[in-house]
Amino acid sequence: MSAPFRLTTGSSGPRQQSPTTCGSACATVARMLVDAPFARWVVHGEGHPVPGAEGSTQAERFASWERTVQARTNGWATPGGGLAMAWPRALGTPPWGLKHELEHGSSRVGTRYRLVSVRGHSQESLRARYRRLTDLVVDGEPAALYVGNTLLPRHIVLVVPGARPGELMVYEPSSGRVLALAEDAFARRRLDLGGWPVPWILIQPTGHRRAGAGVPATAPWRVPQLSPDPTPEALRRAPVGGTLSSSSA
């Protein structure tokens, strides 16, 4: 049996299979990180076939699941059976659709997410936001980051824990590369993720669980700090410190 799917800085993962499925690729990789049988099927074609991820090669299975994800994130129905705002697939993945996907199968069971706009934040506030993210993003509970230029968000990457506390990595779907996410580049809007520098929107874990969502005591994931998320005012007051082929979203 193949080893569980993992991401490490400098490694390569699957690449998005169309110009508008960076969000779907991020959700697929996030699911692979928490669902070993799913990952083995997508990567190696091992185990029980997964409906919606058909194909004879890894690229075909990954592309098939991207389409399955996109049908959910951009459709009228949420995974929980509610109504959502449909979104043209040519415009990529809407944040609300990706949030639902992360909460329903692409993260540890019971993980809750919230949308945070960071486009108008000061450099000081972005540094505080980055540090808060290092508390919230843990194994099995990634975040999604929309990046773009000064005018529009254009691309999505998956934020995962780094090798050491206080560090973050990103899976960049247009190249499949796993890169370090530096605090300074994030705060100064000098990222280079799919060719885009400006952070726009975070879909981040809340650090809490949905009521009644049980997790086995032997689960390998680390439990994040459960301190409340800081208000925008608190973020702005936080002290400054610390160091540190484009596609559509």
Distances 31 to 39, 125, 237 between C-alpha atoms, Å: 8, 30, 36
Does residue 50 lie within any of the structural domains?
yes
| Numbers of helices and strands, H then E, in the chain | 7, 6
Nearest to 41 by CA among 66, 11, 61: 61
Look at residue 26 and give its three-state secondary structure: helix
Does residue 224 lie within any of the structural domains?
no
Does residue 17 lie within any of the structural domains?
no
End-to-end CA distance of the chain: 35
Look at residue 69 and give its three-state secondary structure: helix
> Is the pTM higher than 0.85?
no
Q: How many domains does the chain have?
A: 1
Residue entry with tokens 């991401």 = 7
Are 194 and 121 in contact by the 8 Å Cβ rule? The answer is no
Does residue 16 lie within any of the structural domains?
no
Does residue 243 lie within any of the structural domains?
no
Structural domain span for residue 81: 22-208+229-237
Are 240 and 129 in contact by the 8 Å Cβ rule? The answer is no
Burial class (CB in 10 A: 0-12, 13-18, 19+), 231: exposed
Look at residue 171 and give its three-state secondary structure: strand
SS3 content of the chain, % helix, strand, coil (to 5): 30, 20, 50
Per-residue pLDDT of the chain (249 residues; tens, 9 = 90+): 566 788 988 888 899 989 999 999 999 999 999 999 999 999 999 999 999 999 999 999 999 999 999 998 887 665 556 655 655 455 678 999 999 999 999 999 999 999 999 999 999 999 999 999 999 999 999 999 999 999 999 999 999 999 888 899 999 999 999 999 999 999 999 999 999 999 999 999 998 754 444 443 333 333 333 333 444 444 444 433 322 233 444
90 phi/psi in degrees, rounded to 5: -65, -20
Does residue 81 lie within any of the structural domains?
yes
pLDDT of residue 82: 63
In this structure, what token pair is assigned to residue 4?
A: 């569980």
pLDDT of residue 27: 97
Does residue 214 lie within any of the structural domains?
no
Alpha helices in the chain (DSSP H): 22-34, 36-44, 58-73, 95-103, 123-136, 183-187, 232-237
Does residue 183 lie within any of the structural domains?
yes
The DSSP code sequence of 108-164 is STTEEEEEEE-TT--HHHHHHHHHHHHHH-BTTB-EEEEEE-SS-EEEEEEEEE-SS
CATH classification at residue 185: 3.90.70.10
